[in-house]
Structures are given as structure tokens and as C-alpha cells.
Structure 1
Amino acid sequence: MLQITGLTHSYADGHKAIDGLDLTVPDGELLSIVGPSGCGKSTLLRCIAGLIAPTAGTLTLNGAPISGVPDDLAVVFQDYSRSLFPWLTVRDNVALPLRRRGMGRGERRAAAQEALESVGLPDAGRKYPWQLSGGMQQRVSIARALAYRPSLLLMDEPFGSVDAQTREDLEDLVLGVHRTGKMTILLVTHDIDESVYVGDRVVVLNRSPARVHADIPVGLPASRDQIETRGLPEFVRLRAEVGRLVRGGAKVPGAAPAGEAAGSDGPDADAAPAEGSGSELLAKAAKPAGKKSPAKADAPAKNEDAPAKDETPAKDDAAAKDKAAAKDEAPALDEAAGKDEAAVKDEAAAKSGSGTARKTARKPAGKAASKTAGKSAGKADPA
């Protein structure tokens, strides 16, 4: 059993990654750990593995204090390319940690071959890591941990560097190993679906400095399937609850545990676990959206007013052009009227004069009339 009490760790630059974290992991349990990015999940695993000494608090494994790397512990890291030795064969990579067990060469090779067969790589022993795909290299890392037969297996985002199909295969592999060996496993992941699918419990950490924000038991069947299990109502409910708690715990650094926040009005109060069915959770989630709907409904009305505002300058421009045209026509009309009056006088003089004068007076009048007809647009010919 792993027991963590009051765990606190601060780095040399003063950054506090973990603050008073308490956690108990019974034997044979597969515990998933999730939380916001940078909340201290990897720091927690390094403290458990004895790779760094915590600033305060105690850690015990099977009743013995952890003050260095425990003998009954194995770690599977995310970056498989850096955890395998490229100059060693796959079989030798798997057998390497067995030297600490005091096993002979033949025993180590037999144990390594058995572990490779358990992860589906029975024929890969003589190959080198660089000759394998990424998913196969991660299987080798898992086989190396299994060959050691630890009482506690730590997995730090072990499937983060592989494709989706390989991830699902490795998840099923870990579940099979857990059922067969009854091994205690701590799995750190960013994938909420994965945490629910593989875990017996899901522990949610809040934003750094990390504490346990929520501890959720997973009531799914022990035998799980990637298609059927993910379609169960209980899986959907747990996934929604864990996702809500992860987002709630990310709001405030060192936020109070979800159970304590439930009775407060603080900024993390909404992170408390919801009671009731999934439909009630959806109903609560729909309330904020309802408050925002009137504001959204006003948006189209504002858009409809926009064309009317754009038409106003156009109407003003048209009116201004009409006025300018009217001003331009006024002098032309006055000129035409003046010419018409002169033509009348000349005609009168021509009647009293000779026939030649009458023809002379009519000719200018005709020209004036034609000009007037063109400029005044439809006025009668005075001649």
C-alpha cells in the first residue's frame, strides 16, 4: 500500500508544485491521476519514485519510508525513445533491470522473453529499439517494467506519444496486466476518457500548487471493451463529472477540495461534485446559456438597422445633386426667356418693315427657338 501524508515540494526558484497533498492507494488498485497541465502530476510521481526528495511530508510503500528509489518499483515514461538503450537488443533492454534482482543470465533472458510475449512481441527480442515502431517501443518499455515484477508501477503519460489506435491497444494491455498480476498501478494522464476507462479510481488534482481536488470511484465492470464500455451511461456520466472537476480545479491555484468548496460561495464553489443524474447536470449547465440568449437575439435586429443607416447618406447625395442640377438649369431658362422676348420684338419690327427685314428677324428667332427647345426641354416655339 502507498501512503502519502502532507506532501509538499518547492523547487529552488521558489515555485511550489505540491502543497499538503494526502493520498492512499491500496494494494492491487489501478489509480488514474488527472489535472490541469503543469499542476504537479509529474512532480508527484518523481517524489513517489524517490527521484526527488520532497520539501515536507511523508511517503511510505508497504510500511517502509521512501528515501530513495524503492526496490519494488518500476516506472514507464512517456518518451520511450529516451528510456530504451539503442545499442542493446530489445531482449537485453527488458532484462537489464533484472540484475538488481540478482538473477543469472539465463533467468534474465527467460523472464525477458516471457514479458515480451505478454505484451504481444514474442519475435522482437533480437531486434534493436530503432527497428521498431513507436507503439512497439512503448510495449518494450512496459515489458521491461513487467519483467521486474514490481509491487508498484508508475506510468507517466505512457500513451501520449502514440497514435489513437495504438493508444487503445496499450490501454487494453495495461488492463490485462493489472487483472493478471494484481499489480498496484498509478497512471498519470491528460486524457479524461482514458482515466475513466482504465482506472478503478480517478483522482483529480487542482492547479499548482497541487492538492487532491476530488477522488472519484469508477463503478464500471472489471472486464472492459473500447466500444461497449465507452457507450455505457455510467461511463458517460463519469467522463462528464471528471471533465467538470478538472476545469473547476484549474481556476484557482491550490483550490480547496471539491467537497469543501461545495458549501462556500468562493470562486471554486461550482467545482463541487454534482448530485443526481446526468440529465440534472445538463439542466444546470443549460441555465447560463439561457441567460445569454436575449443578448444574442438582439444581434440580428442591430444588423437589420445597418442598411437603413447606410441609405441616409445616399438620399442626401441624391437631393444635393437635384439641387445642383436645378441651379444649373436656371441660367439656361433665363437666357432662353430673354432670347424669346428679343425675337418677339424683332418680329414686330419686321412686320412694319420690308420683307427682307422680316426674313432677317425670323432667322435669329428660329435659331433661338431651336436652342430654347433643346435647353428648356419641351417649351413651345415662340415663332
Structure 2
Amino acid sequence: MKKLITIYGDSYRGLSTEAWLLAVVMLINRTGSMVIPFLGMYMSSALHFTKPQVGMVLGCFGLGSVCGSWLGGWLTDRLGNYRVQAYSLILTVPIFLLLPNFKTFESLAGMIFLLTLIADTFRPANSVSVARYAKPENLTKAYSLNRMAVNLGFSIGPALAGFLATFSYDWIFYGNAIAALAAAIVFIIVFRNRAPRNKIGRLLKGARNKAEGDRNAYLDTPFIIFNVFCFLFSMAFFQLLSTLPLFYKEARMMSEGEIGILLGFSGFCIVVFEMLLVHAVEHRFTPRQVMIYGTGIAGVAYLMLNVPYGLPWLYISMFILSIGEMLTLPFTATISASRASLKTQGAYMGFNSLAFAAANIFSPYIGTYVAAHYGYEILWFGTAAVLLFASAGFAWILKKM
């Protein structure tokens, strides 16, 4: 036990105060992450949408995310990460409050697009903020801490949403609004007058001359190819947020409360193990090796869903999927930040966020279409195949980068 405590201490050593404060804001915001995993069930059960309609609305979620990620990166390089994060958090509050009033397919699709357009401007700005406040030698740890906060919130949010859904789905939207407002208040109080901590941050804030040799993120060929494989990875992996809850409900006959707890278990695993895992692998393996293994492990987790065992097997599959996530996602942010120059971090982080967001346009529709026409078994075989292909793709392009 003493050795384990020492390892935990080593995992968190060197992280700046600001990195911890950013994680607190993210925790509060993501504790309200109730809408996303239950949106498909809400449309299917409460609004009686067909599976293709559910997929198209979730596709609008992804389209808004793409536009928001690009816009967030563009605005961050011009307005600064603080303003973009503050306005994003504040403006999402009224949209969450209004969403329960939109019950037709067309109106809900439009509102979901608007919600994610505004909400996802936060992501590249937040990634830049982490880079500017973290010590350069602890950048991956800082991103992992931020992700740990995301997943701690995600472990609380779906479990709470499952409880609220037993009364009314409307309360899920109200809970998201309360969390976004609380996160906005804390963020503004803590970061309004706080200067960047490390040397890179000061240079970024103070530089007015155009840096020489800046690469354009959208013309950087190896980085473009890297983001294509990030897109494929997220196309498959984020079935977690669209078809997987439907699979639990329709194929495994689980209640909303049971689904919320199982989804929350994923966040709990990441909170407990991610920092330990990153600390264990970041100095023993290259980012290339870690991402190859992580993507392949996620593919194995989806294959396990085709084995018709009981509830414990589903928890084991979710645990393995969480390991794949822990080994892959922190290093995509590190690679993107390291590829950028001083003046282009917003563009690079925005482009990487866009790659993940773009997948959310196609992933829900393709997933629900395959499930409706060919069954969940074919869906999970296809998902695993895409992840294994992405693993091979990372092996190739990261060797060139």
C-alpha cells in the first residue's frame, strides 16, 4: 500500500497549481455530462424517433462539434483562450434550459447543432490553456489530469442522469445547465486575472511579431494524415456514446439506471488508473508504441460485446475499453501540441479536436444504420476492424512524424 501511494505521488508530482485549477473547472463542467450518453435513448423512448432519425440528430451533434472545434481554434489564436472558454460555458446554459421544449425531429436537430457549435469552441481553447499553464516536461501529465477530471465528471454525470431519467428526461437537460453555469462562475473567478505560468505561455501572450517558420496546421501533410487516423479511431471508439447505450437497452435489456452506472464505471476506471498508466508508460515507451497498443486494445473490447455472457462480462469489456482510451487519447493531444509553433497552438489543437468532432457526424448515423439493418453483432465486428486498421495507421504515420 505504501508503495502504491508513492507511485500515485510520483504520478502527480510537478503539476502546476493552474493545471489543478483547470481540472477543477473541467470536473464541474463534465459532472453535467448527462445529455450525451442518454440523448439516443431520450429520442428513442420519449420522442419515439426512428433509428435513422436518432442517427441523423446525433450526426447534427457531430456537425456542430466540427464547426465548434474549428471556430474555437480560430478564435483562440485571435481572442485568447480565456475569453473563448468563458463565453462558451456561459452561452451553453440557456440552450440546455430550452432544449426540452424542442420535440420535433427538425427543431431538435437544429438545437443540438447550435448547442455543440457553442459548447465545442471550449475544447481547443482549453487544450491551449493546459499547454500554457503546464510545465513543458509535464505536458502529457497535465493533459491526463484534465482528462481525469473529464472522466470523474463523466462517472458522476451518467449515473446521476440515469437517476433523473426515472423521473423525467427534462431534468437531464436542467442538470447540464446547472453544471455549465457553475463551471463558468468558477472559471471566471479563478482565471480572469491570472497570467500564463511557464515561459512558453509568457512568450505566447507577449509576442506581437510574426514567428518565422510557423507551419500551417491545415497544410501540414503528416499532421493531416495523423488526424485522418484520429478520425477513424474516434468513428469507432465513440460508439460508446451513441449505439452502445442503445445496445445495452435493446439487446441486453438493461434499465436506464443500470446503463448509467455501467457508463459511469468507465469514467471511474480512468480516474483511478489513467495517471498511473501514463506515468508508467510515458518514459518506457514512445507515443507511437502507446497509441498502437491502445487502439488495438479498444478493438478487442468491442469484439467482446459479441460474446453473450452476463453483466460482469460487460463490465470487463468496459474496463478493457477504458484501458484503450487511457493509452490513446492523452497522447493525441501531446503530439498535436508538440507539432505546433508558438503562434499556431490554437490551430493545431483545433484541427485535432476537429478530427474527433468530424467523426461524430458520421459515427452515430453509420452505427445506428448498421444496427438497424444488420444487427449489433455486425456493428461490433466492423467497429473492431476499424480500430485495428487505425492502429496500423498510427504505426505508419507516427514513424514518419
TM-score range, shorter chain: under 0.3
Greater helix proportion? 2
TM-score normalised over the length of structure 1: 0.23
Bigger relative contact order, structure 1 or 2 (CA pairs below 8 A, ≥6 apart): 2
Structure 1 or 2: larger strand share? 1
What TM-score comes out, normalization by structure 2 length? 0.22
